[in-house]
Amino acid sequence: MKENRSIEQILIVGSGEDFKAEKIKAVCADVQLVIAGDGGADILADVGIVPDILIGDMDSISPKSTDVVRGNCEVFKYPREKDYSDSQLCIKKALEYNPRKIILAAVTGTYIDHSIANLINLFQVCKCGTEIEIMTSNSRIFVITPNKPAEIVGKNGRRFSFFPIEPIEGLVMNGFYYHFSGDSLNRWEYSLSNVINNDNALLAFKSGKGIGILFDEDFS
């Protein structure tokens, strides 16, 4: 455990397939706490990182991570049959530290039900006031609310998508190539593969909630 450090940011690494090892390693250098959800310990082991905390039922961790469970980090083991997913348990533990931001990595992939569940987790956490996002292999996924607009600086040319999950009122979109015809959206309207065309882009609204996906510079 990293002692005597303010917990501003926490990284949670799951066992999904949609990740880039080099991105995870780079983020580990910036956060104050790293939590592995079960098989996430294997992903971290591959980049030479030992998590501070390991959480889960240990059904997907491999022998290469046995050093982790031998005392090099704090371990919270749960039964396989439980009410919460490993990701939820990791988030609950992270919130105990009252961080400013939580980053989730390797929490999307071929198990589409788990991927959707982790998108829902974003909205459960944002109600607490903690910033949270998912880092995928080629993007970051985050919540947009009236109190947390998407203010995107210095990302001209990036691909961006927006999906409302509630009806949107008072929509403002500046710095995007494509625009909606009005300032109200129902929950079935979305902006897919839009393009940011300004160094200061803004997507904001007066009521509603949505998901923003900002793709990496090298992804088109």
Please give the share of the chain, as a percent, with pLDDT higher than 70.
94
* pLDDT tens track for 102-115: 999 999 999 999 99
Q: Taking 90 as the threshold, does the pLDDT of residue 185 lie above it?
A: yes
pLDDT of residue 192: 97
> For residue 61, what are its two tokens?
């961790």
pLDDT computed for residue 30 by the predictor: 93
Would you say 49 and 22 are in contact if contact means Cβ atoms under 8 Å apart?
no
Among left, alpha and beta (phi > 0; psi -120 to 50; other), residue 86 is alpha
What burial class does residue 187 get, using C-beta atoms within 10 Å of its C-beta: 0-12 exposed, 13-18 middle, 19+ buried?
middle
d(C-alpha 123, C-alpha 84), whole Å: 16
The pLDDT score that the predictor gives to residue 161 is 98
Q: What is the DSSP string of 69-88?
A: IIIISEEEE--SS-SS-HHH
Q: Are 185 and 167 in contact (CB under 8 A)?
A: yes
Residues in Cβ contact with 205 at an 8 Å cutoff, skipping those fewer than 6 apart: 144, 146, 149, 168, 169, 170, 171, 172, 183
- Contact (Cβ atoms closer than 8 angstroms) between residue 40 and residue 135: no
141 touches 134 (CB < 8 A)? yes
48 has pLDDT over 80? yes
For residue 151, the SS3 value is strand
Confidence band for 65, pLDDT divided at 50, 70 and 90? confident
Total residue length of the chain: 220
Cα–Cα distance, 77 to 55 (Å, whole number)? 6
61 DSSP assignment: -
Given this model, what pLDDT does residue 68 score? 66
Q: Do residues 215 and 160 make contact, with C-beta atoms less than 8 angstroms apart?
A: yes
Radius of gyration of the chain (CA): 18
121-169 pLDDT per residue, tens = 999 887 778 999 999 999 999 999 999 999 999 999 999 999 999 999 9
- pLDDT given for residue 5 in this prediction: 53
What residues have CB less than 8 Å from 172, skipping those under 6 apart? 183, 202, 203, 204, 205
The pLDDT, as a whole number, for residue 4 is 42
Compute the mean pLDDT over every residue in the chain, rounded to the nearest whole number: 91
Neighbouring C-beta atoms of residue 123, cutoff 10 Å? 16
- Is the pLDDT at 3 greater than 50? The verdict is no
pLDDT range class, residue 67, cuts 50, 70, 90: low
